């Protein structure tokens, strides 16, 4: 472990102590007192540094992290320490409706986090032009045969439960980790298909995000860009998708394994795209099945989210979406905050958030939803 740099009191502090000694003109105020003060400060700083280093080593063990060199480890420790100071200061402030804490990303600067774990999910031009005053019956259904406008996805006049949690119904797989391949669009789509397959009477099967990353040719499917609705459409055209046991995740784009395209552990008929800016329609859809949504993960609070409340975004949260989530439930009167909330499945692993899930503010004053959640909701239909 690289040694800590020698501690020195700031010059201004030393001068201030000297001035105090002169002003007090105390016979007990000697150079020895200054030396003792500096020694005590050095010891205190050293103890704090060692405590933080111990925490860093425990974090490294928890997240199976290692570094190529001592210099890189020291640099990552400094980033970790800076993040922990931000986390602890923010939690002490008490202004949030949730808690921050250690995550798999605590050794990353915010810029590094954004570059690696968010992607390009900007809305295509035709989506940006949609109106926000339509009913759910104006939703667009897309199948392998093409688009069917106005076919509807069920009317909002049908009563929906006050709360839904598809995890409690055994219809949601544990949170997965996308790694350094920012294919959040594939994870959001697969999570929705997995749940729908179970809800419609099948087994709960962990399906293959890698097959989508490698083989989806309906749009711009990569580790940095893609769309969940394109993923649903590709599965529909392929007449199914394999499990991740058959086509496992490797965390980077490879050549499509065409010999596995005929393995169908779940199927999709098409995709429903809801009108934008209608949280009530998302609620009606989630009452029947999980829904994929876009999201702006650009605020540092999201990088460090650890649960214990409802995430409302921060100053860095906007409608410039760069991530995708799957809404797997909703509720009222959250036990920590008393607010209405969405339950969203993320793709940052189970050591982020609340076992990989995040509670998001629901029924916000901004019609686009928290961090753009209501801009582009989509979900699959089944054969």
Q: Residue 35 pLDDT > 90, yes or no?
A: no
Residue 345 in domain: yes
CA-atom Rg of the chain in angstroms: 25
Residue 271 in domain: yes
Tell me the backbone φ, ψ of residue 95, rounded to 5 degrees. -90, -10
pLDDT digits (tens, 9 = 90+) for 156-179: 556 899 999 999 999 999 999 999
Which residue in the block uniquely carries the two structure tokens 């920590």?
336
Residue 355 sits in a domain of what CATH number? 3.90.70.10
Q: Residue 224 pLDDT > 90, yes or no?
A: no
Residues 133 and 89 placed together within one structural domain of the fold: no
Query: 297 burial class (0-12, 13-18, 19+ CB within 10 angstroms)?
Result: buried
Residue 120 in domain: yes
> Given this model, what pLDDT does residue 128 score?
42
Rounded Cα gap, residues 83 and 150, in angstroms: 48
Average pLDDT, the chain: 85
Tokens representing 370 are 């928290």
Residues 84 and 168 placed together within one structural domain of the fold: no
CA-nearest of 153, 193, 155 to 173 is 193
Residues 83 and 126 placed together within one structural domain of the fold: no
Region 23-45: what's the mean pLDDT?
58
**What residues form DSSP beta bridges with 358?**
344
Residues 85 and 169 placed together within one structural domain of the fold: no
Q: How many residues does the chain have?
A: 383
CA-nearest of 382, 204, 225 to 294 is 225
Asked whether the beta carbons of 85 and 56 are under 8 A apart, the reply is: no
Residues 361 and 324 placed together within one structural domain of the fold: yes
Residues 47 and 133 placed together within one structural domain of the fold: no
| Residue 145 pLDDT class (50, 70, 90 cuts) | very low
Q: Residue 148 pLDDT > 80, yes or no?
A: no
Residues 248 and 341 placed together within one structural domain of the fold: yes
Residue 102 in domain: no
pLDDT digits (tens, 9 = 90+) for 97-114: 999 999 999 999 999 999
Residue 1 in domain: no
Q: List own/partner pairs for 179-182 with CB under 8 A and 24 or more apart.
A: 179/249, 179/251, 180/116, 180/117, 180/223, 180/251, 180/252, 181/213, 181/223, 181/251, 181/252, 181/253, 182/116, 182/117, 182/118, 182/119, 182/223, 182/224
Least confident span in 96-110, 117-131, 245-259, 343-357: 117-131
Q: Among the residues of 94-208, which ranges form H helices? A: 110-117, 125-128, 184-199
pLDDT digits (tens, 9 = 90+) for 85-100: 999 999 999 889 999 9
Residues 133 and 37 placed together within one structural domain of the fold: no
Residues 192 and 329 placed together within one structural domain of the fold: yes
Residue 349 in domain: yes
- Domain region containing 25: 11-59+69-93
Residues 188 and 300 placed together within one structural domain of the fold: yes
| Residue 154 pLDDT class (50, 70, 90 cuts) | very low
Say how many domains are in the chain: 2
Residues contacting 184, CB < 8 A, separation 6+: 118, 119, 121, 178, 323, 324, 325, 347
Residues designated as active site: 184, 323, 346
Residues 205 and 274 placed together within one structural domain of the fold: yes
Q: What share of the chain is helix, strand, coil (3-state, %, to 5)?
A: 35, 15, 50
Region 213-239: what's the mean pLDDT?
90
Residue 30 in domain: yes
Q: What angle do CA 280, 300, 173 make, to 5 degrees?
A: 55
Residue 55 in domain: yes
Residues 263 and 371 placed together within one structural domain of the fold: yes
Count of other CB atoms within 10 angstroms of residue 302: 29
Rounded Cα gap, residues 280 and 152, in angstroms: 15
């Amino acid at each position: 472990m690289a040694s800590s740099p020698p501690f020195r009191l700031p010059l201004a502090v030393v001068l201030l102590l000297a001035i105090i000694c002169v002003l007090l003109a105390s016979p007990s105020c000697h150079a020895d007192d200054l030396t003792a003060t500096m020694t005590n400060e050095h010891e205190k700083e050293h103890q704090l540094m060692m405590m933080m280093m111990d925490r860093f080593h425990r974090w490294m063990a928890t997240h199976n992290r290692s570094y190529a060199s001592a210099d890189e480890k020291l640099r990552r420790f400094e980033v970790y320490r800076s993040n922990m100071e931000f986390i602890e200061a923010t939690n002490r402030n008490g202004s949030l409706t949730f808690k921050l804490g250690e995550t798999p990303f605590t050794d990353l600067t915010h810029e590094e986090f954004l570059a690696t774990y968010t992607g390009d999910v900007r809305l295509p031009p035709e989506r940006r032009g949609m109106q926000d005053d339509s009913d759910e019956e104006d939703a667009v259904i897309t199948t392998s045969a093409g688009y069917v406008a106005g076919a509807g996805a069920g009317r909002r006049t049908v009563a929906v439960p006050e709360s839904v949690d598809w995890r409690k119904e055994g219809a949601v797989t544990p949170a997965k980790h996308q790694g350094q391949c920012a294919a959040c669009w594939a994870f959001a789509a697969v999570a929705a298909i997995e749940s729908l397959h179970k809800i419609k009477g099948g087994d709960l099967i962990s399906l293959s995000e890698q097959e989508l990353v490698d083989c989806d040719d309906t749009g711009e499917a990569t580790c940095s860009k893609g769309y969940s609705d394109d993923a649903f459409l590709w599965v529909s055209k392929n007449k199914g998708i394999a499990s991740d046991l058959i086509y496992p995740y490797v965390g980077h784009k490879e050549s499509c394994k065409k010999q596995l395209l005929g393995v169908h552990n779940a199927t999709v008929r098409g995709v429903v795209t809801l009108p934008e800016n209608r949280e009530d329609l998302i609620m009606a859809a989630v009452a029947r099945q999980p829904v994929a949504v876009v999201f702006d993960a650009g605020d540092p609070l999201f990088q460090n989210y650890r649960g214990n409340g409802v995430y409302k975004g921060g100053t860095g949260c906007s409608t410039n979406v760069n991530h995708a989530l799957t809404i797997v439930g909703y509720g009222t009167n959250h036990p920590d905050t008393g607010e209405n909330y969405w339950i969203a499945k993320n793709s940052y692993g189970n050591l982020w958030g609340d076992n990989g899930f995040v509670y998001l503010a629901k029924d916000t004053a901004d019609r686009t939803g928290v961090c753009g959640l209501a801009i582009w909701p989509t979900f699959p239909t089944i054969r």
